[in-house]
């Protein structure tokens, strides 16, 4: 299902604006971007064995330039340099198709959904429920009714913890959580475990940043009620063998929640093949709007869960004697949902799948390999977690420089990366660190941008600016 299907007939194609926001409303730096000629990129210093550029030998059938043409923000400047967006694990940039879908919705179909008798209510409801069907198809779910809209992955995990967890956890029960996890897949379980007198059990990592599978197998028992695991790490990029880990957990009748926030933009997902009990992701990590995400749950699991929040939309009937609830998934969606967010997310999925998921994944694998080789030429740079199976996340330290200094230096060259603990303090503690620098790749990044990152880090090393004594 395409965005055109969702918004079909609402406006003629000629009425769709080229951008959702008129140029005069944008910051001056953005409007200057189109007028300013981009400065010549600094070439990386020669290395004994220069890596082979994927753009020069790419046989995947995917061109990052096609994606870049659609993303307006990539054509602005920062500090007089073309923006190099390497903070994709924090959030991805939005194609014009998403921006325009939001504008079209608000300009032509804005209404509250469900129960409305008028035309706009019907159109908004069709777009909203059409978005649910699109997400179910994208995830390989068998029914749209197994998809619950949330604000994102964090709210989805909290929903499972507060609904399923409160109904199923008891004294002595265990929740297995690898040390690899994002805080949003640790803290909700700690909170419900404390309330239900259950226990969160960490699963250790190996030196390469992979989950210790022997330890995982040993920790599983019939006390294990749930395993919470990321499909890909936001800090190390590690891709655990989630299908095999899920199958092993199911031998002990444990449920499995997979945090797909970092995976969905990089690899095709099939929740049926994974046999996941729960799968959560965020729209803004996959080129969609902020504030929208989804939780997939197996139909029989969802049917067994009590509502989490109460209010409008999630009820069937209300009286002071008795309240009955709407069928799944609506009883988990109290209040007015993020309708425009659903429209924008559907447009993002349509845009991404239009390139061919396998072709995009193959290109990103090539770009990641190139980046690893390129960064290896920087003296004193150490990449964390050299796992064989990983997405394009490059978390690193640079001898003599703290993460904030690295990020500030790169920003002066127009390069955006992330510095800090990346909401994954246990994973960094595994390496004896409290913070690190992180560059993260997406389909619109290029080998030339990797070259600019490497060159700027070489320059930082030679400058000595901010170097610790």
> Which residues form the catalytic set?
423
Name the residue among 2, 316, 335, 376 with its Cα closest to residue 155: 335
Task: Give the separation between CA 145 and CA 126, rounded to whole angstroms.
Answer: 15
Tokens 């503690």 sit at which residue?
Answer: 429
Per the CB < 8 A criterion, the answer to whether 114 and 325 are in contact is: no
Name the residue among 263, 310, 300, 251 with its Cα closest to residue 278: 300
Task: Determine how many CB atoms are found less than 10 A away from the CB of residue 322.
Answer: 7
Task: Give the separation between CA 215 and CA 452, rounded to whole angstroms.
Answer: 41
Contacts of 467 (CB under 8 A, 6+ apart): 400, 401
Q: Phi first, then psi: what are they for 439, rounded to 5°?
A: -105, 140
Torsion angle of the four alpha carbons 261, 267, 268, 270, in this order, in degrees rounded to the nearest 10:
-50
* Beta-carbon-side half-sphere exposure of residue 416 (alpha carbons within 13 Å): 20
Name the residue among 238, 290, 231 with its Cα closest to residue 261: 231
* Beta-carbon-side half-sphere exposure of residue 152 (alpha carbons within 13 Å): 16
Task: Give the separation between CA 466 and CA 437, rounded to whole angstroms.
Answer: 15
Task: Give the separation between CA 30 and CA 75, rounded to whole angstroms.
Answer: 8
DSSP at 307 = P
Task: Determine how many CB atoms are found less than 10 A away from the CB of residue 225.
Answer: 23
């Amino acid at each position: 299902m395409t965005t055109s299907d969702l918004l079909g007939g609402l406006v003629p194609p000629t009425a769709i604006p080229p951008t959702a926001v008129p140029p005069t409303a944008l910051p001056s730096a953005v409007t200057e971007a189109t007028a300013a000629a981009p400065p010549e990129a600094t070439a990386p210093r020669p290395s004994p064995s220069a890596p082979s550029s994927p753009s020069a030998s790419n046989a995947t059938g995917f061109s990052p330039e096609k994606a870049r043409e659609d993303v307006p923000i990539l054509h602005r400047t920062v500090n007089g340099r073309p923006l190099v967006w390497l903070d994709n694990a924090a959030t991805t940039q939005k194609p014009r198709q998403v921006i325009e879908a939001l504008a079209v919705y608000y300009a032509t179909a804005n209404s509250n959904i469900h129960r409305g008798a008028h035309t706009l209510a019907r159109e908004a409801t069709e777009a909203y429920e059409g978005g649910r069907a699109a997400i179910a198809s994208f995830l390989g779910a068998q029914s749209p009714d197994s998809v619950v809209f949330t604000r994102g992955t964090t709210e989805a995990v909290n929903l499972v913890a507060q609904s399923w967890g409160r109904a199923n956890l008891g004294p002595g029960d265990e929740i297995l959580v690898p040390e690899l996890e994002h805080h949003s897949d640790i803290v909700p379980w700690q909170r419900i475990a404390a309330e239900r007198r259950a226990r969160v059990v960490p699963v250790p990592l190996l030196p390469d940043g992979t989950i210790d599978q022997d330890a995982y197998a040993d920790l599983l028992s019939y006390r294990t009620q749930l395993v919470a695991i990321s499909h890909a790490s936001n800090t190390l990029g590690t891709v655990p063998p989630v299908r095999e880990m899920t199958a092993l957990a199911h031998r002990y009748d444990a449920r499995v929640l997979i945090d797909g926030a970092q995976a969905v933009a990089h690899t095709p997902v099939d929740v049926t093949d994974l046999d996941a009990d729960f799968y959560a992701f965020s729209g803004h990590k996959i080129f969609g709007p902020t504030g929208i995400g989804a939780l997939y749950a197996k139909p029989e699991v969802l049917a067994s869960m009590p509502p989490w929040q109460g209010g409008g939309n999630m009820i069937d009937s209300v009286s002071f004697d008795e309240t009955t609830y709407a069928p799944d998934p609506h009883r988990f969606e109290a209040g007015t949902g993020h309708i425009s967010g659903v429209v924008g997310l559907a447009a993002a999925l349509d845009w991404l799948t239009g390139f061919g998921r396998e072709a995009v994944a193959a290109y990103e694998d090539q770009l990641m390999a190139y980046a690893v080789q390129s960064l290896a030429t920087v003296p004193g740079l150490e990449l964390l977690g050299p796992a064989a199976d990983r997405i394009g996340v490059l978390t690193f330290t640079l001898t003599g420089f703290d993460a904030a200094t690295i990020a500030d230096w790169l920003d002066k060259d127009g390069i955006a990366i992330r510095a800090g603990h990346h909401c994954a303090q246990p994973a960094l503690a595994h390496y004896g660190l409290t913070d690190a620098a992180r560059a993260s790749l997406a389909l619109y990044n290029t080998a030339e941008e990797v070259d600019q990152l490497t060159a700027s880090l070489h320059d930082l090393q030679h400058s000595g600016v901010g170097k610790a004594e």
